[in-house]
Structure 1
Amino acid sequence: MHPLDNPAWNALTTLQRSVSSGNELARRFEPSISPIAAVMNSADPACWSALAEVVGAGSLVGVFAIDKDAPPEDWTVDWRYTFAQMTCTRASFKTPARAAAHPSMRVLTLADGNAMVELAALAQPGPMEARTVTLGRYLGIFDDDDKLITMAGERMRLDGATEVSGVCTHPEHRGKRYAQLLSAAITEAILERGDTAFLHVRDGNTGAASVYEKLGFGVRAVFDIAAVTKR
């Protein structure tokens, strides 16, 4: 099995183990960092029993590459969608035209955590917690009032691959190619380290997929991601 077939599991059991909790069958990020959890094999009921012990009843977590018959009946599925996993290598990467850095672009820090959560709640790129920024390098663009309006960064990391995540723009500033600019900068830095860049795009989000294709990303796999709660 390729490591990216179960990216969260392979991140949480290797490079990001120190910011997670769990056991040999199930793990999750620290709740203040991310609601992402993972099981070694989503088709194995024992893994779901282990995950229940890790997260406890009532906690909503996201599980990647979930089996078609999972989770067991004692779990509630809040949502379940099909995502395309896209990857980009040094050979396929394409620097976008007009890629000069925006004057307000800077690296985001823990002090920006609340602003990142606020933007994510508005733009809905996926889960964002106040300490998600500690997982990797995040970049942001700010308006004239120093309000965060666009961001992108690194989330899951495993041997040889880093995820591009949290890509979003405030609705009032869309159409300015800010997300493409930040995605390109984050991707290029990942590739320069020698990693493959990967990301996940919900099925039907053709606009986002088009942006990533222009940067040199291509679809590697398609699988379901679900948000689940142990009853």
Structure 2
Amino acid sequence: MSHILDRPIWSALGTRHSALAQGGALARRYLPSVSLFSATGDDRPESLKALRALASPGETLLVVQSTEALVPDGMTAVSRASLVQMLAAEPLPEIADPRVELLGEEDAQAMLELATLTKPGPFTLGAQRFGSFWGIKQGGRLVAMAGERLKQPGYTELSGVCTHPDARGRGLGRLMSLYVAGKICTRGERVSLHSYATNTAAITLYGSIGFKLRSDMHVTALTLTQ
């Protein structure tokens, strides 16, 4: 039996993120201003055709699921990568730290710049529409952040964990991960996250704070065939 997190984008867009969805019963995607994450509910030809219909020329749709994504006719897989999906094994406590502040719309550009520099994963100016983000500033500059991304019933994804190179080695990534995970757990939800399978440092960090592997995952980048 499939798990709600096997196709996390599909299940998020059909439930807690339905207000951010485009598409219908066969394929869905996030509003382009929010994310290029897209999904089908299954691998039937009609579902793949519906996914292709959601793509615009020049876009790169991103599909994340537990099985290798099939490529719709008229589209090309420009990249594939292996991920791991992890879950907090036990509820993590909410913590307080005076350095951490809730980020707002006025921080969107600084958030994008930090994410572009550190590459935690796909990120846009509209990322705060996924959920709340928190950060640490030093001298008015954002140096660390983390927040919420995909949301399904009973689950919220920890994402966007990044630290400016100038501030690394101080445990800020660990702090931000624990801070956001604690916020999620306090709501009675389980915390999920995704990491590239090659990012052993991140996987080791998450394991040290109580995350366990749930499933191997795959991310596929799709574009319309020229």
> Which TM class, normalised by the smaller chain length?
over 0.9
1:37–1:62 contact (8 Å) kept in structure 2: yes
- Once the two structures are TM-superposed, the CA of residue 112 in structure 1 deviates from its matched residue by 1.0
2:93–2:182 contact (8 Å) kept in structure 1: no
Q: Which of 158, 164, 170 lines up with 1:164 in the alignment?
A: 158
Match of 1:4 in 2: 5
2:93–2:185 contact (8 Å) kept in structure 1: no
Q: Does 1:70 find its partner at 2:64?
A: no
Q: Does 1:192 find its partner at 2:221?
A: no
Q: Tell me whether 76-85 or 193-202 shows the greater mean CA deviation.
A: 76-85
CA distance in 1, matches of 2:96, 2:10: 36
SS of 1:33 mapped into structure 2: coil
Match of 1:224 in 2: 218
1:90–1:191 contact (8 Å) kept in structure 2: no
CA distance in 1, matches of 2:72, 2:52: 11
2:20–2:30 contact (8 Å) kept in structure 1: yes
Match of 1:139 in 2: 134
Root-mean-square deviation (Å)? 1.7
CA distance in 1, matches of 2:211, 2:74: 38
CA distance in 2, matches of 1:219, 1:66: 13
- Once the two structures are TM-superposed, the CA of residue 32 in structure 1 deviates from its matched residue by 1.0
Match of 1:175 in 2: 169
2:49–2:72 contact (8 Å) kept in structure 1: no
- Once the two structures are TM-superposed, the CA of residue 89 in structure 1 deviates from its matched residue by 4.3
Counterpart of 2:116 in structure 1: which amino acid? Answer: A
- Once the two structures are TM-superposed, the CA of residue 72 in structure 1 deviates from its matched residue by 3.5
What TM-score, normalized to structure 1? 0.91
CA distance in 2, matches of 1:81, 1:44: 22
Check 1:111–1:170 CA distance in 2 against 1; reply closer, same or farther (3 A cut). same
- Once the two structures are TM-superposed, the CA of residue 134 in structure 1 deviates from its matched residue by 2.2
CA distance in 1, matches of 2:10, 2:69: 19
Match of 2:55 in 1: 55
What is the number of residues matched between the two proteins? 224
CA distance in 2, matches of 1:17, 1:167: 24
2:51–2:72 contact (8 Å) kept in structure 1: no
CA distance in 2, matches of 1:28, 1:219: 26
1:94–1:215 contact (8 Å) kept in structure 2: no
2:66–2:215 contact (8 Å) kept in structure 1: no
Q: Does 1:107 find its partner at 2:102?
A: yes
1:109–1:134 contact (8 Å) kept in structure 2: no
1:94–1:214 contact (8 Å) kept in structure 2: no
Counterpart of 2:120 in structure 1: which amino acid? Answer: P
SS of 1:200 mapped into structure 2: strand
* Identity among equivalent pairs (%): 34
Q: Does 1:154 find its partner at 2:155?
A: no
Counterpart of 1:72 in structure 2: which amino acid? Answer: P
Counterpart of 1:104 in structure 2: which amino acid? Answer: R
Counterpart of 1:132 in structure 2: which amino acid? Answer: A
CA distance in 1, matches of 2:67, 2:203: 24
Match of 1:36 in 2: 37
SS of 1:223 mapped into structure 2: strand
What TM-score, normalized to structure 2? 0.93
> What are the superposed Cα offsets for residues 111-163 of structure 1, whole Å, 9 maximum, x if unpaired?
1111111111100001111111122111111122x111111000010100000
CA distance in 1, matches of 2:207, 2:69: 31
